[in-house]
Amino acid sequence: MKLPEVLTLGTFRQLYANGTSPLDVLELLEKRWRDFEKTGNPVWISRRNLADLLEEAEALVQRKNAGATLPLYGIPFAVKDNIDVRGMPTTAGCPEFAYEPKEDAAAVALLREAGAMVVGKTNLDQFATGLVGTRSPYGACRHAHSAEWISGGSSSGSAVAVAAGLVPFSLGTDTAGSGRVPAAFHGLVGVKGTRGLVSTRGVVPACRSLDCVTLFAHSLGEASELFALVAKFDPLDPYSRRAKAFLRPAGLGETERFSFGVPRESDWCFFGDQEAERLYRDKIDALVKLGGERREIDDRPLREAALLLYQGPWVAERTAAVEAFLQSHPDKIHPVVRKILESGKEKSAVEAYRGAYALEEYKRQTEEIWSNIDFLLLPTAPTMYRIAEVEKDPILLNSRLGTYTNFVNLLDLAALAVEAGEREDNGLGFGVSLIAPAWSENQLFRWAALLQGEEPVSPPLSGGDILFAVCGAHLRGQPLHGQLLALGATFVEETRTAPEYHLFALPTDPPKPALVAVAEGRGCSVEVELYRISQKGLGCLLTKVPAPLALGAVRLQNGREVCGFLGAEGSCRGAEDITAYGSWRSWRKRDCS
């Protein structure tokens, strides 16, 4: 048995479906991990020994045989070493800072409960301070496919571990772009959700109020599935937030067509990198060809907000996170990181308040941006550098990499980083990010799948969402579909009901159908579309639906019941029975011919 070069969740599921044991897979992986270590690329800070992993795998087999639901059964993953894993030291990239956590970080615990196995802790820019991957006493993490180029940071090891085929997914963190920049350089999906959507309990803070736990994976579908598992409210984390519905800006109208924002070309910033500019322009053109409307925005408020992170008072929050260690062990901190942390001591409370006021001003100024577009499409990083270049000018080149990422957490936005082609000059990756306001993850996954040509993915937010069936005017391409989009609903699949319904055309404007349940043996199967929608969104939709329709349970052809609008039998007298057409679309085509 030979493992493929690229590991995905599907790789392991196929192996286990064919009868392979997780214990056998781990032994193959152990050889791959040992071989990679011979390259000298310091991805791992610590790695679990094979005996411990085999013991955990055996326990997983027993859980599965006992009937446990394990969606990530036997799937290995890596964890950035500022995130706690029980039984392994947390170093945050500083050996002298290391401690032994008593429990897993919240996100790690959720993944382990789902059957995944932590195999090691990965290297990072020390104390998660950097976007380059070179600020570590364990050595500079090199790009997975070219030793002279940076990996991107601070979640450097986590990205390299996935890109190099050591694990199928990994956890990182993101304060200024650390979960996105390394994804861009390696052609990965990097998920940075709304602040607080994934608990940061058990994470060594960089900026406690801004930090996010992030994911690296190879595909949007797998990234969405993983995100759904960790995006859970955590009552033990004071920064955890309950998911909310995201409403599409009303100004965009009730239409399937989408609009995306890009900066004015005169404001584009690539620091002379023509390859990055070419690839970015290609993705813009691709979205236009897919039906998107390009709208230029004034990105000045975004750029000015970004400056607050390192040039404003938020740098003091980094200092606060490790202040005691900075005072007692200054010589044990990486020189570049120490310089940044010490600069935080110079910030006053007055400056902090002024910064907070300025940030609110920038938030208000950006409201106009979000009222006119579905999402921003930006380069994840404007360029990339060789390790030698970063070592000569570590502060300036690092700050350039955050040009299009530093403002995101400050302004409470969600971002999804995806690959955007291969550079011709070095053969490495370039990436773009789709960015939108908080709680927009469902929409971002949808637009990203369209951009990448992937199958539409199920929405990542599962807590509180409802699976909802529509059969008429709310279908894609129909007059009221925009109501669903405006309420944050996300398409899941097209399917049919069980053969126990009649379909009537109501005399309304615009025309709407009524799906009516009938006695067994008298009905037919009707075409429906399934959407995920929040409870709040469904409540808003309910106010728009007139009698004789009401909310009820719709049985699908696979026997599953979902929510949908139904008409009561006998309530549609005088309406045309269109059941024979099998779908609203078929009847409408007949009606328009």
Known catalytic membership, residue 154? yes
Ramachandran area for residue 124 (φ above 0: left; ψ -120 to 50: alpha; else beta): beta
Tell me which of 178, 219, 259, 534 is the catalytic residue: 178
Distance CA(365)–CA(523), nearest Å, equals: 55
Q: At 160, list the tokens.
A: 């390299």
Kindly give the interhelix angle for 9-17 and 22-37, rounded to the nearest 10 degrees: 140
Q: At 364, list the tokens.
A: 């208000």
Distance CA(199)–CA(238), nearest Å, equals: 9
> Which is nearest to 209 in space by CA: 330, 95, 308?
308
DSSP state of 23: H
Q: Distances in Å between the alpha carbon of 385 and those of 125, 130, 133, 146, 451?
A: 16, 14, 11, 12, 27
Question: Which residue is associated with the tokens 């808003």?
Answer: 540
Distance CA(488)–CA(465), nearest Å, equals: 11
Tell me which of 151, 154, 158, 433 is the catalytic residue: 154
Strands (E), 135-240: 142-143, 146-150, 169-174, 189-192, 212-217
Q: How many CB atoms lie within 10 A of CB 263?
A: 20
State how far Cα 11 lies from the chain centre. 21
Residue 108 burial class via C-beta count within 10 angstroms: exposed 0-12, middle 13-18, buried 19 and up:
buried
Q: At 233, list the tokens.
A: 């409210």
For the chain, the distance separating the N- and C-terminal CA atoms, rounded to the nearest angstrom, is 58
Tell me which of 80, 121, 192, 283 is the catalytic residue: 80
Distance CA(267)–CA(395), nearest Å, equals: 23
Distance CA(249)–CA(372), nearest Å, equals: 7
Q: Are 562 and 530 in contact (CB under 8 A)?
A: yes
Known catalytic membership, residue 240? no
Known catalytic membership, residue 80? yes
DSSP state of 427: S
Distance CA(32)–CA(498), nearest Å, equals: 49
Distance CA(460)–CA(164), nearest Å, equals: 26
DSSP reduced 3-state for 422: strand
- Residues annotated as catalytic are 80, 154, 178
